[in-house]
Amino acid sequence: MKRRDFLRNTTAVLGSGVFMGASLPSALFAQETPATGGTLIWGHSETTQNLDMHQTGTASSGRVLQNIHSSIVTVDKDLNVIPGLCESFEVAPDGLTYTFKLRAGVKFHNGATMTAADVKYSFERCKDPATGAVNFEVFNNVAAVETPDDLTVVIKMSAVNAPFLSRLAENGAGVVMPVDSGPTQGTNPMGAGPFKFVSYEVGTVVKMARFDDYWEGPSYLDAVEAREITEPTTRLTGLRTGELHMINDIPLDRVGELQADAGLQVKTWFPLNFDFINMNHTFEPFKDKRVRVAFDMIIDKEALMEGALWGQGATTASPSFPTSAAYNQGLKPRAQDIEGAKAMLAEAGYPEGSLNIVFKATTNYPYHIETAQILVEWFKMAGVNLTIEQLTWADWLSQCWVDKDYQMTMMNFFTLWESDFLYFSVWNSTGAFNYRAINDPIIDDLTAKARITVDDAERAKIYQAVQQQIWDEAHDIVLWFRNGTIGAQPAVMGLDTVVHPNGSNLNFHKVWLKA
């Protein structure tokens, strides 16, 4: 997708969540009456790991577990927080008390009826450091979880935490599990979602079956089989031979070929994630804003996106979810200006040929390597010698993420649609994901202020100011939103409902198979 198309589309769908592009077949049959039955065979691009919703941090496991669990609240396609397992929720004006009225008669897969005790158990389990929950910090300000009756949960906060409710809309924190089911969640995940867990054969297949008592009504499909096929070509072959009904993550260079095939459906949507180039702020040259801005000016983002993503994305200067109120529409990517960059580098004391930079890219994302390879040429033109070091995922996490032992790198993030999670974690000097060691008092003040600003419009403005500051200072170079892709047989219906508003999770509740 070209930038102008992206802008046109975002304007058109602003406020309407994740944008999806559909090829003809599903659009034609969209009005048909759904049929019940059948097993959907999904070629899943990644290996599912720990199945405990609290403990798992990987997108692959989250994608499967989305079908097994439900959260206390969720988001609509506009990313507004709406009731999930609760019927209603209320936030006290001081922001210190949250009251949830639970739906009556919600069943878990074990047949038990959900009560306030299950919510209390789940939240306290997530908060408990012994659980090893990835999202435990969501509950940092929670002083008490009270259950005045079976269908009421009252959460008392020790301090205001404005993003609390939004964070509960993610399964990792807001999931409700039956009391005492924790120890078996890793091997036998159980929740109140549309599908029951049946079995998992590691690295091969996760099987799920329809849960007839699902609180939003039973799904159309009898079952879903998530076959784990990490090799992209093998996945594509499975779709072409008809062994698979559906695959996610079509290799970027093959999307066009599939779109041209009238016998298959292709869905693309953005954003699956955003990518940005990182400069280590403890590395001497990058302490100087002029060097960072010059580096931004060396890169032609549009050409880079065409080259590395095969056009399967849209450039952006803001990492905010494109349809969220916080997205700063005024920001544009810096245009390429090699001569200007050269001059600015010289002014900063780095004349042509004097800068040697190592760019660490992880092989976990092959397009990161391709990005780096394209960058090398532009940087050479600007008199900067860029060398690429390829790292496995484990090495990247260890060297760049944890030890901050790098000069330049790049990364992508999924599902950080919640602004606090995004900006505080990634750009605040104390943020958990500030692996560039950015220390900007203006951003620190703004992100802290947003946390205690309960008014949504006001918060959105603060986050727009944060984006402006990131851009002005070129703390990082934000590149693009990458498209998500699904390929499917023509018989798979309801694909429009598959992608969760977070752009990563897939939900098969409304999917059906045409006979």
Residues at the interface with another protein (CB under 8 A):
47, 49-52, 55-58, 129-130, 132, 134-137, 186-187, 201-205, 227-231, 234-235, 237-238, 240-243, 392-395, 397-399, 401-402, 411, 413, 432-433
Q: How far is the CB of 461 from another protein (least distance, A)?
A: 28
Q: Which of 45, 483 has the CB closer to another protein?
A: 45
Q: How far apart are CA 175 and CA 128, in angstroms?
A: 15
With the C-alpha atoms ordered 291, 295, 296, 298, is the resulting torsion angle positive or negative?
positive
- Residue 308 φ/ψ, nearest 5 degrees: -90, -30
Other beta carbons within 10 angstroms of residue 409's beta carbon come to 25
Q: Which of 161, 328 has the CB closer to another protein?
A: 161
CB-facing half-sphere around the CA of 180: CA atoms within 13 A: 2
Cis, bond preceding 194 (omega within 30 deg of 0)? no
Q: Which of 187, 356 has the CB closer to another protein?
A: 187
Please name the amino acid found at residue 478: V
Q: How far is the CB of 448 from another protein (least distance, A)?
A: 17
With the C-alpha atoms ordered 43, 46, 52, 58, is the resulting torsion angle positive or negative?
negative
Question: Minimal CA–CA distance to 167: which of 417, 436, 454?
Answer: 417
Q: Which of 9, 58 has the CB closer to another protein?
A: 58
Q: How far is the CB of 383 from another protein (least distance, A)?
A: 33
Strand-pair partners of 200: 206
Q: How far is the CB of 57 from another protein (least distance, A)?
A: 4
Q: Which of 151, 400 has the CB closer to another protein?
A: 400
Residue 497 Cα to chain centre, angstroms: 17
Q: How far is the CB of 505 from another protein (least distance, A)?
A: 15
Q: Which of 133, 331 has the CB closer to another protein?
A: 133
- Using DSSP, state whether 367 is helix, strand or coil: helix
Q: Which of 50, 507 has the CB closer to another protein?
A: 50
Question: Minimal CA–CA distance to 103: which of 112, 90, 91, 116?
Answer: 116
Q: How far apart are CA 134 and CA 136, in angstroms?
A: 6
Q: Which of 146, 395 has the CB closer to another protein?
A: 395
Q: How far is the CB of 231 from another protein (least distance, A)?
A: 5
Q: How far is the CB of 154 from another protein (least distance, A)?
A: 27
Q: Which of 447, 464 has the CB closer to another protein?
A: 447
DSSP 369-399: HHHHHHHHHHHHHTTEEEEEEEE-HHHHIII
Q: How far is the CB of 182 from another protein (least distance, A)?
A: 12
- Relative orientation angle of helices 338-347 and 289-298, to the nearest 10 degrees: 160
Q: How far apart are CA 34 and CA 493, in angstroms?
A: 8
Q: How far is the CB of 106 from another protein (least distance, A)?
A: 27
Q: Is the Cβ–Cβ distance between 167 and 112 less than 8 Å?
A: no
